[in-house]
Amino acid sequence: MRVIGIDPGLRNLGWGVIDVQGARLTHVANGICHSDGAKDDLARRLCSLHSQLSEIFRKFSPDSAAIEHTFVNKDAVATLKLGQARGIALLVPAQFGLEVGEYAPNAVKKTVVGVGHAAKQQVEHMVKLHFPGVQIVGADAADALAIAVCHAHHCQSAGRLQAALLKAAG
Protein backbone atom coordinates (compact mmCIF):
# COMPACT_ATOMS: atom_id res chain seq x y z
CA MET A 1 0.00 0.00 0.00
CA ARG A 2 1.29 3.47 -0.84
CA VAL A 3 0.27 6.19 1.63
CA ILE A 4 0.50 9.96 1.26
CA GLY A 5 0.40 12.11 4.37
CA ILE A 6 -0.53 15.77 3.96
CA ASP A 7 0.17 18.56 6.45
CA PRO A 8 -2.19 21.34 5.33
CA GLY A 9 -0.91 24.90 5.17
CA LEU A 10 -1.67 27.87 2.98
CA ARG A 11 1.92 29.03 2.60
CA ASN A 12 3.62 25.62 3.05
CA LEU A 13 1.67 22.42 2.46
CA GLY A 14 3.82 19.45 3.46
CA TRP A 15 3.53 16.03 1.87
CA GLY A 16 5.19 12.68 2.40
CA VAL A 17 4.78 9.37 0.57
CA ILE A 18 5.61 5.98 2.08
CA ASP A 19 5.17 2.37 1.03
CA VAL A 20 3.75 -0.09 3.54
CA GLN A 21 4.46 -3.82 3.32
CA GLY A 22 3.29 -5.56 6.46
CA ALA A 23 5.10 -3.87 9.34
CA ARG A 24 7.78 -2.44 7.03
CA LEU A 25 7.56 1.25 6.12
CA THR A 26 9.69 2.61 3.28
CA HIS A 27 10.19 6.27 2.38
CA VAL A 28 9.27 7.12 -1.22
CA ALA A 29 9.36 10.94 -1.36
CA ASN A 30 8.60 14.09 0.59
CA GLY A 31 8.32 17.79 -0.11
CA ILE A 32 6.50 21.06 0.39
CA CYS A 33 4.05 22.79 -1.93
CA HIS A 34 4.51 26.55 -1.67
CA SER A 35 2.11 29.38 -2.43
CA ASP A 36 3.37 32.94 -2.59
CA GLY A 37 1.13 35.09 -0.45
CA ALA A 38 3.06 38.24 -1.24
CA LYS A 39 2.23 38.09 -4.94
CA ASP A 40 -1.08 36.26 -5.28
CA ASP A 41 -4.58 36.60 -3.92
CA LEU A 42 -6.12 33.75 -1.93
CA ALA A 43 -7.89 32.15 -4.91
CA ARG A 44 -4.65 31.95 -6.92
CA ARG A 45 -2.78 30.55 -3.92
CA LEU A 46 -5.39 27.81 -3.47
CA CYS A 47 -5.31 27.08 -7.21
CA SER A 48 -1.52 26.78 -7.06
CA LEU A 49 -1.66 24.35 -4.11
CA HIS A 50 -4.31 22.30 -5.92
CA SER A 51 -2.20 22.11 -9.06
CA GLN A 52 1.00 21.17 -7.20
CA LEU A 53 -0.69 18.54 -5.03
CA SER A 54 -2.49 17.04 -8.05
CA GLU A 55 0.86 16.64 -9.80
CA ILE A 56 2.25 14.81 -6.75
CA PHE A 57 -0.74 12.42 -6.85
CA ARG A 58 -0.19 11.80 -10.57
CA LYS A 59 3.53 11.18 -10.04
CA PHE A 60 3.36 8.88 -6.98
CA SER A 61 -0.11 7.24 -7.36
CA PRO A 62 -0.94 6.77 -3.67
CA ASP A 63 -3.48 4.13 -2.62
CA SER A 64 -4.42 5.92 0.59
CA ALA A 65 -4.28 9.46 1.98
CA ALA A 66 -4.27 11.05 5.42
CA ILE A 67 -4.29 14.57 6.81
CA GLU A 68 -4.20 16.23 10.19
CA HIS A 69 -7.30 17.75 11.78
CA THR A 70 -7.16 21.52 11.96
CA PHE A 71 -6.68 22.97 15.40
CA VAL A 72 -8.48 26.22 16.14
CA ASN A 73 -6.30 29.01 17.47
CA LYS A 74 -7.07 32.52 18.68
CA ASP A 75 -6.56 34.08 15.24
CA ALA A 76 -9.86 33.36 13.48
CA VAL A 77 -8.65 34.70 10.11
CA ALA A 78 -5.57 32.45 10.15
CA THR A 79 -7.72 29.45 11.16
CA LEU A 80 -10.13 30.15 8.30
CA LYS A 81 -7.28 30.37 5.76
CA LEU A 82 -5.80 27.13 7.10
CA GLY A 83 -9.23 25.54 6.71
CA GLN A 84 -9.30 26.58 3.06
CA ALA A 85 -5.89 24.98 2.47
CA ARG A 86 -7.19 21.90 4.28
CA GLY A 87 -10.07 21.86 1.81
CA ILE A 88 -7.53 21.49 -1.01
CA ALA A 89 -5.83 18.68 0.96
CA LEU A 90 -9.21 16.87 1.12
CA LEU A 91 -10.30 17.68 -2.44
CA VAL A 92 -7.28 16.36 -4.33
CA PRO A 93 -7.36 12.83 -2.85
CA ALA A 94 -11.13 12.72 -3.44
CA GLN A 95 -10.56 13.67 -7.09
CA PHE A 96 -8.21 10.66 -7.34
CA GLY A 97 -10.87 8.37 -5.82
CA LEU A 98 -9.29 8.02 -2.38
CA GLU A 99 -10.86 8.20 1.04
CA VAL A 100 -8.93 10.37 3.48
CA GLY A 101 -7.99 9.36 7.00
CA GLU A 102 -8.04 12.29 9.42
CA TYR A 103 -6.04 12.37 12.64
CA ALA A 104 -5.79 14.74 15.56
CA PRO A 105 -2.30 16.26 15.98
CA ASN A 106 -1.94 14.54 19.37
CA ALA A 107 -2.77 11.13 17.82
CA VAL A 108 -0.07 11.60 15.18
CA LYS A 109 2.48 12.63 17.82
CA LYS A 110 1.54 9.73 20.11
CA THR A 111 1.93 7.24 17.25
CA VAL A 112 5.30 8.55 16.06
CA VAL A 113 6.91 9.85 19.27
CA GLY A 114 4.97 8.01 21.98
CA VAL A 115 3.81 11.26 23.59
CA GLY A 116 0.73 13.20 22.51
CA HIS A 117 2.16 16.62 23.33
CA ALA A 118 5.56 16.17 21.68
CA ALA A 119 7.39 19.18 20.26
CA LYS A 120 7.76 19.63 16.49
CA GLN A 121 11.49 18.87 16.76
CA GLN A 122 10.75 15.54 18.49
CA VAL A 123 8.40 14.55 15.66
CA GLU A 124 11.02 15.39 13.03
CA HIS A 125 13.68 13.46 14.98
CA MET A 126 11.50 10.34 15.23
CA VAL A 127 10.56 10.53 11.54
CA LYS A 128 14.30 10.60 10.72
CA LEU A 129 14.76 7.50 12.90
CA HIS A 130 11.93 5.75 10.99
CA PHE A 131 13.63 6.57 7.68
CA PRO A 132 17.41 6.65 8.28
CA GLY A 133 19.47 8.46 5.68
CA VAL A 134 16.45 10.11 4.07
CA GLN A 135 16.71 13.83 3.31
CA ILE A 136 13.59 15.48 4.73
CA VAL A 137 12.82 18.77 2.98
CA GLY A 138 11.59 20.60 6.09
CA ALA A 139 9.39 20.50 9.18
CA ASP A 140 6.16 20.50 7.14
CA ALA A 141 7.36 17.50 5.13
CA ALA A 142 8.41 15.74 8.37
CA ASP A 143 4.92 16.34 9.79
CA ALA A 144 3.38 14.93 6.59
CA LEU A 145 5.54 11.80 6.85
CA ALA A 146 4.46 11.46 10.50
CA ILE A 147 0.81 11.64 9.38
CA ALA A 148 1.50 8.91 6.78
CA VAL A 149 3.15 6.73 9.45
CA CYS A 150 0.17 7.27 11.78
CA HIS A 151 -2.24 6.28 9.00
CA ALA A 152 -0.20 3.18 8.16
CA HIS A 153 -0.28 2.06 11.81
CA HIS A 154 -4.01 2.77 12.01
CA CYS A 155 -4.69 0.72 8.85
CA GLN A 156 -2.54 -2.15 10.12
CA SER A 157 -4.37 -2.17 13.47
CA ALA A 158 -7.75 -2.09 11.74
CA GLY A 159 -6.65 -5.01 9.55
CA ARG A 160 -5.51 -7.03 12.56
CA LEU A 161 -8.79 -6.33 14.36
CA GLN A 162 -10.81 -7.39 11.31
CA ALA A 163 -8.76 -10.60 10.98
CA ALA A 164 -9.26 -11.40 14.70
CA LEU A 165 -13.01 -10.81 14.44
CA LEU A 166 -13.25 -13.08 11.38
CA LYS A 167 -11.22 -15.76 13.17
CA ALA A 168 -13.40 -15.52 16.30
CA ALA A 169 -16.60 -15.73 14.23
CA GLY A 170 -15.32 -18.74 12.20
Does the annotation list 75 as a binding residue? Answer: no
> Which residues is 48 bridged to in the sheet?
none
Does the annotation list 7 as a binding residue? Answer: yes
| Residue 62, phi-psi category: left (phi > 0), alpha (psi -120 to 50), beta (remainder) | beta
Q: 142 near 127, Cβ under 8 Å?
A: yes
CA distance 97 to 82: 23
CB burial of residue 35 (10 Å; 0-12, 13-18, 19+): buried
CA distance 107 to 74: 22
The dihedral built from the CA positions of residue 12, 136, 129 and 121, taken in this order, carries a sign that is negative
Angle between helices 120-130 and 105-112 (to 10 degrees): 50
CA distance 45 to 167: 50
Does the annotation list 63 as a binding residue? Answer: no
Which residues have a catalytic role annotated? 7, 68, 140
Annotated binding-site residues for Mg(2+) read 7, 68, 140
Annotated binding-site residues read 7, 68, 140
